Structure formats: structure tokens, C-alpha cells
Amino acid sequence: MTNITAQIKNPATTKQIEERSSDKYGSTNNGLINTILDRYFDIIKVGTRELREFTDAEKNLLCDICNGTMFEPFGLILENNAILMQFEDTLDLYGNQFAEKWEIDGDELKTKLENLSKIGQIALIDYIEKFWNTNAEVSGEE
């Protein structure tokens, strides 16, 4: 087992953990954090099923246009379907340039993003962040 030490920087998150991990409930901070992470990864697993509707080219386009995007504060990002907003902003600024680059139907992708559940959005954000955190390249060329 790998021992990872992490620091929680958001005071609201720290408060929620402290409220839920008191001895009154028989749980510790570490135990609660492990439970939260297990639940998060289960949510990602469920949401990833929705991403099967997206082609590789569509996912690459979304990674491309979200390069450098900070998905914070997460609640606000999720509430407003930030990836859809990013895609619409890209269309406003660049027209169909990215859709043509990735050889996708922009209207079809927009519909898929509009129909994505909150859990699907979380999985897509996780996919995009994982993509950029592994230093992958998006070239549009096969």
C-alpha cells in the first residue's frame, strides 16, 4: 500500500470533513477521505459509460479547446456545464475551425454535451484533466 500525504486547502471542504469524521460516528479523517475517494472513482466509472457516446475525435477536440482550463470552483463549473460553455465560446471565436481540424460535426457534439448528465460531466472533466496531466499531445493528425 502506498502512503500518500495530501493537504486540503479549501476551508469549506476541511469543515465538512471535520463534521463528518468525529468520533461520535466512529470514523477518522483518513477513513472518511478514503471513502470519499472511493465514491468519487465509482462516480467516474459510471460517468465514463456516457463518454462512450463520444468519438475519439470529439474527445480530442474537447481536450484541445480545454487546454489550460482550470475547472474551479467545481460546483459552479458543474452547474453551468462548463465544457459546453467552452465549446460554444470556441464556436463563437473560431467558427468551425476546430470541428474541421478534428473532422467532427459540431452540432452533433453540441447536442451530446447538452445531454450529458452531471455525472457524465464529472467524468469528462476528469478525462480532460487526466489527458493534460499526462502531457499528451493533441495534433489532430493520425
DSSP 80-137: TTHHHHHHHHHHHHHTTHHHHHTT--HHHHHHHHHT--HHHHHHHHHHHHHHHHTT--
Residues 6+ apart with CB under 8 A from 28: 21
Per-residue CA distances from 113 to 54, 97, 120, 133 (Å) = 9, 18, 9, 22
For the beta carbon of residue 133, count every other beta carbon within 10 angstroms: 8
One digit per residue, pLDDT tens: the chain, 142 residues? 677 777 888 788 788 877 777 655 556 777 778 888 899 999 999 999 999 999 999 999 999 999 988 888 777 777 778 899 999 999 999 999 999 999 999 999 999 999 999 999 999 999 999 999 886 555 444 3
Q: Given this model, what pLDDT does residue 24 score?
A: 53
Q: What is the pTM of this model?
A: 0.80
